Chain A
Amino acid sequence: MSALRESLGFLTSRLRQVGIFVALILIVLLFQGLTGGILLEPQNVTNLVVQNSYILILAIGMVMVIIAGHIDLSVGSVAGFVGAIAGVMIVHWGWPWWLAIPACLLVGALVGAWQGYWIAHVGIPAFIVTLAGMLIFRGLTLIVLKNQQITPFPAELRALGGGFLPDISGGTSVLEWLTVILGVGATLALLIQAVKERRIRKKFDLESEPTVWFVVKTAFIALLMLTITFLLASYRGTPIVLIVLAVLVIVYTALMNNSVFGRHTYAIGGNLHAAELSGIKTKAVTFRLFVNMGVLAALAGLVFTARLNSAQPAGGTGFELDAIAAAFIGGAAVTGGIGTVAGAMVGGLIMGVLNNGMSILGLGTDYQQLIKGLVLLLAVAFDIFNKNRSGGESILGKQFKRKTTPPPVPEKTTPAQSETVGANTK
């Protein structure tokens, strides 16, 4: 009984993390029902992954930028611009894909360096710089493409967008066995890692998670991964872009948690002044964040172009908003310092499932946009209500408090001094 109460207490203390997961499941179940089972058909699951891959790639870079307290509005235009460059390089100039892909990523890095320079070193707010970038790179896209699409691309590049890993059973089996091996392997690796980390946390007495909850959570995630593996394997196997995405998620999660760079990013977003006074080179970190965002935007542009098999003047329009929404639905804080790559991925999937489900139902883009907007608003509102309730700091809560009671301050403006006075009068 007490174990149950303990678990419940833990769940409420982590309402946000649990909530978003539950929300994803509910949305999946809802559309599974509404679409009469089409949503979770193998082919549709594969589509879901491929369709959302470039938004998810953007969301990785975006959540990092948001954690540092900035924003990037230009990623859609940058993705379109790099798609156009890829078209020129591969189709017009005849460059091989293995040369064109690194070249395009380099272009992305240069774009990021350009924006990073204005933001970090000149000190213009990221909102302005990237709003300008949104216009600049859309303009350049149109100029490069001379307002016409470039097509077709060679099969090697198209594989990045819509290709699958080779079928080792030669198409004879019901299940695609390479996918099964990868999926089961990844699930096992995840289980081992989770148990190992829990053991370490226990060793240092940092574990706050009840055993019941740990088992349920881990088992659920494992089951989810195996289900997706099964669904993918019973269609055409593993999309190449999923491998790319998985590698990115693993690398960037590690980077944000365990590297000096990642930790400095959190420090800057959490308290810029404290970070500066702790010797963190805040400008260098900000600059690198935008270079990184540029590279990821370039990659997203390549994947998108490869999937469409054409570089289009309007390519990438609106991607930035989906990526930003994914990061915020995934729990990133508007004020910076809070957020995770994994959260942004779940946020991106929520948006993806909504898109996909509503398309199957035949809802027009009008209703799709309306509903997506409401979901974003509710997710962040839930965040703020939750923080207020638990007494944590939030912008809304602070302002509210400030208005109702004057701060308990005798002499200067720190509650500090009041205690000082108390000490002296004794």
Chain B
Amino acid sequence: MNTPILQMRGITKTFPGVKALQDVTLDVNRGEVHAICGENGAGKSTLMKVLSGVYPHSSFEGDILFENEPCDFSSISDSEKRGIVIIHQELALSPFLSIAENIYLGNEQARNGWVDWRKTNLEASKLLARVGLSENPVTPVQHISVGKQQLVEIAKALSKEVKLLILDEPTAALNDEDSGHLLDLILHLKGQGVTSIIISHKLNEIRKVADAVTIIRDGKTIETLRLDEGQITQERIIRGMVGRDLESLYPDREPNIGEEVLRIEDWSVRHPQDFTRMVVNNASLNVRKGEVVGLAGLMGAGRTELAMSVFGRTYGTATSGKVFKYGQEINTGTVAGAIKHGIAYATEDRKHYGLNLIEDIKRNISMAALRKLVKGGWVDKNEETVVANGYRKSMNIKAPSVAAVTGKLSGGNQQKVVLSKWMFSDPDVLILDEPTRGIDVGAKFEIYTIIAKLAAEGKAVIVISSELPELLGICDRIYTLSAGHVTGEVPIAEASQETLMHYMTLEKE
């Protein structure tokens, strides 16, 4: 049983200025289910992209041996020819095509250039039977649930005679029942000789299916734990995932916390397409004047969804729950309403949701509160420039002038423009979603300083972040979310990466 099918040796992958992977080693035995664990951003997906040929052989250092033969893939189709198939987190299915068409997409069952529909549908139903999906192969993919779509992806992989199946966070978008079914299928395929690599940070799943776990942190292999040696324990995985020192990257702050500003009670949100999925489930939390509150959670925990649904119902459907400000219930059903009640939400994706990239700095800053600049029916452009120049100084936005187009600024400066926009709307509560994503270290410190200053000015700040050290460095209190539930509320004095990770991986029954 212990014959290696895959050996990756000394894999180093560099992006401009950043080492994403450093001397990574991975050994996978034939017929096992091998889990890869690590925090968001640790390098798990990069490693899988290296393996599957998304990054061609020439773009990284190190060797890959598959079935004892060296691999030099230059594209995905090369790795698929050898029987390595990757299923990405975001499913790559075409919603309007049928199940059978999707399974054979790019690999059409054709004769002389004409598709053989009988064969296509017949073979597809055989594959569907193998993955335990009882659907008609001519059903359009959009008519089946996400869980079933995941199974179609696996059927598609089987059609390519897969030897090594890579699943990137396969259950992130699934409900509990579908997740269970998928994990059973992985074990079933293992019985048929298919080796699987599964990227996940759901510890209960890993305990259920994995024969071995490799932990990756900051682009390096930490260790490989094996089930038969009794090494797979929750404590050991968590220690491996977070084990690093807090960096002194955070400004000093004397919190001066006052009355409660915002309280969210029993907040529930359903997935906009899949109504059976509760993305946020009975979440309650509050934030006080001058306080920085963190929201921690792994991918898919529902942090952004919670924030956006509170901010003008910009996410989800059938939202229920109450929002109170200074003890009074308020209606935040529209963005304009939320802004009027003094709530600001700075998005995690500033390029798509935060900035008008073809517009200049001053017009971006004034966008959310343009009416404040109106004098006699017209926008006072001089005042606008004065305001923007004020923020350029106080936020230290590095640009030739406030007439510079935001699309050409660096990530850090773009984020400062977004923060300026919301500060100009004069909020009492600021929700900052991944405020330092895509920002270099120096600019991060500046953003932390701005957050500290906002709190000192008496604003209530909620910070959503995937980086635990960051939350520990700047927050006064941290809520943890897992699968839509608030699983913990930890004062900063009692918080550590281990306790947070424990709550973040907790599954509510």
Which residue of the partner chain, among A204, A274, A410, A421, contacts B356 with CB atoms under 8 Å?
A274
A258-274 CB mask vs B (1 if < 8 Å, else 0) is 11100110110011011
Smallest CB separation, A96 vs chain B (Å):
32
| Contact of B7 with A by CB under 8 A | no
B361-373 CB mask vs A (1 if < 8 Å, else 0) is 0010011101100
| Contact of B287 with A by CB under 8 A | no
Contact A414 B378 (CB under 8 A): no
Task: Using known A-B contacts A204-B386, A419-B440, A421-B219, determine if residue A410 contacts B367 with beta carbons closer than 8 Å.
Answer: no
Instruction: Give residues of chain B (343-394) contacting chain A, Cβ–Cβ below 8 Å.
Output: 345, 347, 349, 352-359, 363, 366-368, 370-371, 374, 377-379, 381-382, 385-386, 389
Smallest CB separation, A120 vs chain B (Å):
15
A423 partner residues in chain B, CB cutoff 8 A = 249, 440-441, 444
Interface segment among A217-225, A227-235, A277-285: the answer is A277-285
Which residue of the partner chain, among B46, B336, B355, B379, contacts A274 with CB atoms under 8 Å?
B355
A270 to B360 CA separation, bound complex (whole angstroms): 11
| Given contact pairs A406-B54, A411-B42, a sample of 13 additional A-B residue pairs in the complex whose CB atoms are under 8 Å apart | A267-B359, A267-B363, A274-B353, A278-B368, A278-B421, A279-B312, A279-B335, A410-B43, A410-B46, A412-B45, A416-B438, A422-B19, A425-B19
Contact A277 B345 (CB under 8 A): yes
Contact A410 B219 (CB under 8 A): yes
Q: Which of A260, A279, A280, A422 has the most CB of B within 10 A?
A: A279
Task: Using known A-B contacts A263-B379, A279-B335, A279-B339, determine if residue A422 contacts B17 with beta carbons closer than 8 Å.
Answer: yes
Q: Which of A257, A266, A267, A275 has the most CB of B within 10 A?
A: A267
A415 to B182 CA separation, bound complex (whole angstroms): 31
Q: Which of A254, A414, A416, A419 has the most CB of B within 10 A?
A: A419
| Contact of A358 with B by CB under 8 A | no
Smallest CB separation, A206 vs chain B (Å):
5
A2 partner residues in chain B, CB cutoff 8 A = none
Which residue of the partner chain, among A254, A278, A412, contacts B335 with CB atoms under 8 Å?
A278
A393 partner residues in chain B, CB cutoff 8 A = 357-358, 407
The 6 A-B residue pairs with the shortest CB-CB distance in the complex, in nearest-first order:
A416-B438, A410-B20, A270-B356, A410-B46, A422-B18, A278-B368
Contact B13 A410 (CB under 8 A): yes
Smallest CB separation, B332 vs chain A (Å):
11
| Contact of A402 with B by CB under 8 A | no
Task: Using known A-B contacts A270-B359, A277-B354, determine if residue A417 contacts B437 with beta carbons closer than 8 Å.
Answer: yes
Contact B437 A421 (CB under 8 A): no
Smallest CB separation, A383 vs chain B (Å):
13
| Contact of A426 with B by CB under 8 A | yes
Number of A-B contacts (CB under 8 A): 178
| Contact of A171 with B by CB under 8 A | no
B30-46 CB mask vs A (1 if < 8 Å, else 0) is 00000000001111111
Contact B356 A259 (CB under 8 A): no
Q: Chain B residues in contact with chain A, CB under 8 A?
A: 13, 15-22, 40-46, 54-55, 59, 218-220, 244, 247, 249, 311-312, 314, 334-336, 338-339, 345, 347, 349, 352-359, 363, 366-368, 370-371, 374, 377-379, 381-382, 385-386, 389, 401-403, 407, 411, 421, 425, 434, 436-441, 444, 467, 469
Which residue of the partner chain, among B21, B334, B434, B437, contacts A410 with CB atoms under 8 Å?
B21
Pairs across A and B, CB under 8 Å, 15 listed: A200-B382, A204-B386, A204-B389, A264-B370, A271-B356, A271-B357, A274-B352, A275-B367, A337-B359, A393-B358, A406-B55, A410-B13, A410-B20, A418-B18, A422-B441
Smallest CB separation, A327 vs chain B (Å):
17
B20 partner residues in chain A, CB cutoff 8 A = 410-411, 418, 421
Contact B438 A417 (CB under 8 A): yes
A257 partner residues in chain B, CB cutoff 8 A = 381
Instruction: Give residues of chain A (276-294) contacting chain B, Cβ–Cβ below 8 Å.
Output: 276-281
| Contact of A420 with B by CB under 8 A | yes
Smallest CB separation, B493 vs chain A (Å):
24
Smallest CB separation, A271 vs chain B (Å):
4
Question: How many A residues, CB 8 Å from partner?
Answer: 49
A275 partner residues in chain B, CB cutoff 8 A = 356, 367
Q: Which of A270, A412, A417 has the most CB of B within 10 A?
A: A417
Which residue of the partner chain, among A263, A274, A337, A425, contacts B354 with CB atoms under 8 Å?
A274
Q: Which of A406, A414, A421 has the most CB of B within 10 A?
A: A421
Instruction: Give residues of chain A (388-426) contacting chain B, Cβ–Cβ below 8 Å.
Output: 392-393, 406, 408-412, 414-426
Instruction: Give residues of chain A (302-334) contacting chain B, Cβ–Cβ below 8 Å.
Output: 333
Contact B359 A259 (CB under 8 A): no
Smallest CB separation, A94 vs chain B (Å):
39
B403 partner residues in chain A, CB cutoff 8 A = 206, 208
A180-221 CB mask vs B (1 if < 8 Å, else 0) is 000000000000000000001000111010000000000000
Contact B335 A276 (CB under 8 A): yes
A240 partner residues in chain B, CB cutoff 8 A = none
Contact A259 B357 (CB under 8 A): no
A280 to B335 CA separation, bound complex (whole angstroms): 8
A419 to B349 CA separation, bound complex (whole angstroms): 15
Q: Which of B22, B359, B366 has the most CB of A within 10 A?
A: B359
Smallest CB separation, B320 vs chain A (Å):
22
Task: Using known A-B contacts A263-B379, A267-B356, A421-B219, determine if residue A411 contacts B438 with beta carbons closer than 8 Å.
Answer: no
Smallest CB separation, A403 vs chain B (Å):
13
Which residue of the partner chain, among A260, A273, A411, A421, contacts B370 with CB atoms under 8 Å?
A260
